[in-house]
Amino acid sequence: MTSVRGWLLGVMAWLLVVLVGSSLVWVVISRAGQGVAPSPGSGDPGQVAAGAAASSPGAAVTPAPSTTSRPTLRPEPSDSARPSGPPSPRAGTTDGPDDSSPSAAPPASAPSASTSGARAVRRTWSGVGGTVVAECRGETIRMMGAQPDGGFAVEVLDRGPHQVKVEFRGRGDEHRESQVESECEAGTPHFSAENKDD
């Protein structure tokens, strides 16, 4: 009788541990996902498929809804979660032609009175040479990241606040070049790109 009672107590204790552990994991994942997952129905119309920019060299590319299998750049925390100190370096964002060494993020500027209450809208452009991520708060734009494709180097020409301008250049035998510009239109980043093949 004692062995059956001990066995039942062991099973009940195990079930209790599993129930409490599962509940805690569920709560932690739900809270972490609230700040990461987009709200339902909010597709990302600022994404451009990688092949779309190569279809007509020299033509401007406008954002169109699509999905991409490219790696995503790490998002920055929202203003409520952003630390007040200087930003930390982000891997994968480079300023010069050598994309092998990451550089620090641009210095954070204090939001102006007209943009401090504006909602942040982030969009991604992907095309010949790499990926650019920009964010608008009202009419103020800021580059969040630029990641070159293999065989390309990136040069950031302007990080904001009026426009974002990035250039991807092929290295070695690659003589292709893309220049990507983005400005805020109605509080949303809009991209245009020009591609050159030498």
- Nearest Cα to Cα of residue 94 among 192, 182, 175, 168: 168
What would the mean pLDDT of 92-120 be, rounded to a whole number?
A: 49
Residue 48 DSSP label? -
Q: In what order do the strands lie in the sheet with 164-170?
A: 152-158, 164-170, 176-185, 188-197
Better-predicted residue by pLDDT, 136 or 75? 136
The pLDDT-based confidence of 84 (bands split at 50, 70, 90) is very low
Model confidence at 88, in pLDDT bands (50, 70, 90)? Answer: very low
- How many CB atoms sit inside 10 A of residue 62's CB? 12
Q: At which residue do the structure tokens 């750049």 appear?
A: 73
CA 143 to CA 106: how far, in whole Å? 8
pTM of the model: 0.44
**DSSP one-letter code for 87:** P
Confidence of residue 17 (pLDDT cuts 50, 70, 90): very high
* Minimum mean pLDDT range among 69-83, 117-131, 152-166: 69-83
Nearby residues of 32 by Cβ (< 8 Å), 6 or more positions away: none
- Report the pLDDT value the prediction gives residue 118, as an integer from 0 to 100: 79
> Above pLDDT 90, what percent of the chain?
36
Mean pLDDT for 46-57 is 39
For residue 130, count CB atoms less than 10 angstroms from its CB and return exposed for 0-12, middle for 13-18, buried for 19 or more: buried
- Tokens (6 digits) for 69: 């299998």
Position 191 scores a pLDDT of 96
**3 state DSSP class of 17:** helix
Question: For residue 34, what pLDDT is reported?
Answer: 62
Q: Return the higher-pLDDT residue of 101 and 134.
A: 134
Confidence of residue 196 (pLDDT cuts 50, 70, 90): confident
pLDDT above 60: residue 175: yes
Q: Any idea how long the chain is?
A: 198
